[in-house]
Amino acid sequence: MSMLQEFKSFAIKGNVVDLAVGVIIGAAFGKIVASLVEDVIMPLIGTLVGGVNFSGLAFAVGSATLKYGKFLQTCLDFLIIAAAIFLAVKLINRLRREEPAAAPAAPPKQELLLGEIRDLLKKR
């Protein structure tokens, strides 16, 4: 099999297409969550903590500047994004939850009678 045919069979498989769609939707969802963090949640947190902006925190070590505030801000953003994704997945799972299956129906009379006959024959 030539490499082109092999690639074609790989690319056309359903799993690859599903994965591509998932990546695209994930990227779009990432933009939504990033906007939620930057434009809604962080201003509220900034107001609650007195307007503190972590990204400006830094100190110099020789000629290098360590911007630990940006790291703290990124960690906080990650925690908020992780919580938002957790809540979204939890909501989706709750919406997808199916009702429990009904109890199986009682077997027909014929099966019950055959079971009784079988049990009687075993006793002999």
**Each residue of 44-101: pLDDT tens digit?**
877 887 766 677 788 888 898 888 888 888 888 788 778 877 888 888 888 887 666 6
Residue 23: pLDDT over 70 = yes
Question: Is residue 118 assigned to a domain?
Answer: no
d(CA 51, CA 53): 6
61 within domain boundaries: yes
Q: Does the residue 90 lie in any domain?
A: yes
Name 54's Cβ contacts closer than 8 Å, sequence gap at least 6.
69, 70, 72, 73, 76
Looking at mean pLDDT, say which of 12-16, 29-33, 101-105 comes out highest.
29-33
The answer to the question of residue 113 being in a domain is no
User: Is 105 within the bounds of a domain?
Assistant: no
Number of folded domains that form the chain:
1
| Structure tokens belonging to residue 64 | 């290098």
Question: What domain range includes position 88?
Answer: 3-99
Residues contacting residue 37 through CB under 8 Å, at least 6 positions apart: 77, 80, 81, 84
In a domain, 106, yes or no: no
CATH number at residue 18: 1.10.1200.120
The maximal CA–CA distance of the chain, rounded, in angstroms, is 97
